[in-house]
Structure 1
Amino acid sequence: MQQEILLDLESAEKLAIRACLAAGANEPTARSLVDATLSAALYGSPSVGFPHFVDYLRSFSEGRINGDPKPALLRPFPAFFVSDADQGIAQLGFDLALDDFVEAANNFGVAVFSQKNSYTTGELGYYVRRLAGHGLISIAATNANAMLAPTPGGAAVYSTNPLAFGFPLTDPMSPMVIDQSSSATAYVNIVAAAAERRPIPEGWAVDHEGQATLDASEALKGALLPFGGRKGANIALMVEMLAAGISGGSWSLDAGNFMSGTRSPAVGLTLIAMVPGGNADQRIDRASAQVERLQGLGVHVPGTNRQSRSIERVKIPLEIFEAIAKIAGEA
């Protein structure tokens, strides 16, 4: 069983900030990244919380992330925002635009935020969760370097290309957040299985020769597969066009590897935010009642089983905690 350490939120936050600064991030970057990491650890998938945070720290020090970026934000149309992340983290560009983006969505009923030239987005559910906190429904799409082959034996042409959806619900319910990749599993799950020498299910990936494999280490040398065959591959293509096509970010085939090298992935992120309707409170109440009805029938509704007010501490795998502490100079 994997050993874990339990930290109160303030201690986890301070440790993570110190690690970011030590790795070469400026204070605004550190603040945005740590907020997103804590959100993922508490309310999203833990694998894209602190374990992925270590990837960020290494990428700062190895040159894949600009630690002192100057994101540029343009507004070519009243409800359309275009950001250039300056090879920094995606979260910072989003944070800098958030207030104006939310205001535009409320004024026009819908708004679009599109960003290029960033490191990978981290937990995509974070962005729609933030917007749900402002009473907005949203859809998010992003890409990264190519690691998914549309068919077994084919070339890897897409990333896992996740799609996220958020819908605000009535307090004290947390918002519905669907965050899933176009691949049969997330890349971090393959990495975790390889580290723990666990086999992976059939249909998740192929090896470097394009043959089906249950060996996670061989899968890392090969490619992931889409969920649902051709239909999942079509979703990956749709996400690619939304994320990179609209933003001008790197296509997955052209993106730098987010785990190695010195080149920024420079990928894209697109968010579409919508008000719930003319009678927003009534629509949210109606959606909340429907969620409760579905849950009463045994349906899992993603995100709604997390209660933010009850969470005061965060679990971090011991190995990950030690890696962060070492970078922060507290080994």
Structure 2
Amino acid sequence: MSWGEFIELRDLRSTREQAALADATQDPQLPEEKGEGHNFQPCSHAQPTWCDLCGDFIWGLYKQSLRCVNCRFTCHYRCRALIRLDCSWDRGSVADHAGVVEHNVETDTNVDERTDSVKQELTTPEVLQKVKEYNAQINSNLFMNMNKDGSYTGFIKVQFKLARPVSVPAPKKGGHDVGGRRASGVKRRTSFYLPKDASKHLHISSRTTSREVIEALLKKFTVVDNPGKFALFERSERHDQVYVRKLSDEERPLRLRLCSGPNEKVLSFVIKENETGEVNWHAFSMPELKNFLLILQREEEEHVKQIVQRYALARTKMQEALSGSTPG
């Protein structure tokens, strides 16, 4: 990235985004919190997830973690006592936490369902024509540019709609990094809730995947959470209805932007928690995968044991009732 592009991207940051990130990553006088206000309940995940405190993967699906019913802070049982981030329920509006952020109803469509305009690959002349049409509709300097190899570059805007907190490295004290792990074995991190109206412009290539967009956003904000915790969604408005679709890891957001045009109502990008997507198991090592299978086996055996005990107790009570009854 050139220095001019860097200055341009810096100036595009919203005031609120700059304030939130600066306070979280640079201000050593952050208000001290005690992890108050949470209402944690046992959580059974349809998909495995990551702990918002230590950042480690939560192994197992059956009541292996806790989640605040208000702010959705998710953590291991062992991490509950170490939480210092207060619940965000009282800070934001009730509408935001209830998911009512639009007058229109949002409909999640199929993950693999792509819009008609991007189902077919474009030829180089078609791309060149669309780039010209796109730039003709731009009122700013966020143009797209063709490259000699047939690829093109441009800007996309990504809005953050995160219900759970994000984490940055622990601050340094006296020039020494106080990161690493506490005596309890939990990594030291600084967590905060990102404002839901925060957004970021990225200068990317037509070859940049949605997974690379997520990784670039986390890197720019020095967020240390696992990229698998997040997913990139496309949002569109049609016939007074809002449609939201999760992009696959290999989709090209800039190509979607080019085919849809610059109108944000036709297409916009949102980053949210990856609560509905499949976990990329190929990213884990063989020992981790074997450990996961062992945990699932133990959970299955425990679950079967509980069911057998419940039915055995019911059978015993019915037999006692039958033995105590008189004929006729």
- Asked whether the two chains share a fold, i.e. TM above 0.5, the reply is no
- Range into which the TM-score falls when normalised by the shorter chain: under 0.3
TM-score w.r.t. length of structure 2: 0.26
Larger relative contact order, structure 1 or 2 (CA cutoff 8 Å, min sep 6): 1
Higher Rg: 2
